[in-house]
Amino acid sequence: MSSTIKSINEVIKTRRSIFPPSYIEKEIPRDVINSILENANFAPTHKLTEPWRFTVFTGDGRVKLADYMAEAYRANTTAETFSPAKYEGTRSKALKSAAVIAIILELHPEKIPEWEEVASVACAVQNMWLTATANNIGAYWSSPSVTESLRQFLDLKENQNCIGFFYMGYHNLGDIPARRTPIEEKVTWID
């Protein structure tokens, strides 16, 4: 087996969702973030629509995002169901992250169906996740319930939708075992 195949297999099999409470205070260099985004740009894309767009929050940008998300939670929650802990938890996700990337889907309905664009963006996010893993950066994709209210905050065009956030940060968790059932339980062979 070639070293390239071994490396790819290792990165794929060690990728995990690593959440902001596990992140340590360490900035992700801009060139590393650019590398993560550059690899996203090489995801498969039907008819070359390249439907992925990204807004990157670092430094004080994370504070703006944290404040916006917390206030969006407050605005979309009744007084009876409002939880101060959830409000603070919403803020802390962005504040504990070294970087947060808004994942934006740009639709091209005149060319291809929406599901194909969503699939392409998901592939772009997987490329980001694998690149983050290869750089020992923890990450996870979260789709908050207030994504529609993000339209104005993110200055989205009519054919764009925010489909979540990619939270990233360095961590000291070490190896985390995979929890997957055997592939043989999910495959049917027809010879």
Strands 99-106 and 137-142: unpaired
Nearest 5°: the CA angle 137, 50, 52 is 45
Q: What is the mean pLDDT of the chain?
A: 95
Residue 168's CATH number: 3.40.109.10
pLDDT at 159: 97
* Residue 26 belongs to domain spanning: 3-186
Sheet containing strand 52-57, strands side by side: 52-57, 99-106, 160-170, 137-142
pLDDT at 144: 84
Q: What's the whole-model pTM score?
A: 0.95
Instruction: Give the pair of three-digit tokens for residue 42.
Output: 């090489």
Q: Please check whether residue 63 lies inside any domain of the structure.
A: yes
Q: Please check whether residue 35 lies inside any domain of the structure.
A: yes
Banded pLDDT at 52 (limits 50, 70, 90) = very high
For the chain, what is the domain count? 1
Q: Please check whether residue 150 lies inside any domain of the structure.
A: yes
Q: Please check whether residue 147 lies inside any domain of the structure.
A: yes
Q: Please check whether residue 146 lies inside any domain of the structure.
A: yes
Contact in structure between 65 and 57 (CB atoms under 8 Å): yes
Nearest 5°: the CA angle 80, 82, 88 is 165
Instruction: Please report, for residues 14, 26, 78, the alpha-carbon distance to residue 176 in angstroms, rounded to integers and kept in the order given.
Output: 8, 21, 38
Model pLDDT for residues 93-150, shown as the tens digit of each residue:
999 999 999 999 999 999 999 999 999 999 999 999 999 999 999 999 999 877 778 9
pLDDT at 149: 83
Q: Please check whether residue 191 lies inside any domain of the structure.
A: no
User: Quick count: other Cβ atoms within 10 Å of Cβ 139?
Assistant: 28
Banded pLDDT at 54 (limits 50, 70, 90) = very high
Q: Please check whether residue 114 lies inside any domain of the structure.
A: yes
